[in-house]
Amino acid sequence: MLCSMRLLLPTDFSEPSGRGVEAGGALARARGASVTLVHVWDPAAAGAPPATLGWSRDKQDRLVAEIRAHLLARLDDERERIPSGVPVELALLEDASPARAITRFAADEGYDLVVIATHGRTGPMRALLGSVAEKVVRLARTRVLTIPTR
């Protein structure tokens, strides 16, 4: 089956994010679309002192490689949330800003739709942590479907 519609499904591996992946998978199945599961991480944060103070470059590189491998395995586990028969690709992006990475990737790779879950934070928690979904909606040049927590 030739898939002309491509959906980008960001995940941070949380339960709300998983519901977004499931909704995107269901939509892909209904529309005959393919999906790409994407996770964004900041490798610079993995090498920030004091945890790595005094480490050799080789030890630091091994740590980053281990983290990448772990994240790819977690991303691969998310495939279970996608209905069988839906073509799935994986993308692990590196950026300090998940929203920026997601929106750039969606535009550069020609995705038709980003399906992203909201975490439902309000008040001080939202102000403190921000909202990746909200930033994706504001920055995207691609259509975005948000999946609410509840």
Q: Is residue 63 part of a domain?
A: yes
- Indicate whether 28 pLDDT > 50: yes
Q: Compute φ and ψ for 99, nearest 5 degrees.
A: -60, -45
User: Residue 83, CB half-sphere, CA atoms under 13 Å: how many?
Assistant: 14
User: Would you say residue 132 lies in a domain?
Assistant: yes
65 inside domain: yes
Residue 105 sits in which domain range? 6-147
CATH code: domain of residue 110: 3.40.50.620
* Residue 53 scores a pLDDT above 50: yes
Report the alpha-carbon distance of residue 120 to residue 105 in Å, rounded.
24
In a domain, 1, yes or no: no
Asked if residue 122 belongs to a domain, the reply is yes
| The total number of structural domains that make up the chain | 1
Query: In the chain, how long is the greatest CA-to-CA distance?
Result: 53
* Total-model pTM: 0.88
Kindly state whether residue 111 falls inside one of the protein's structural domains.
yes
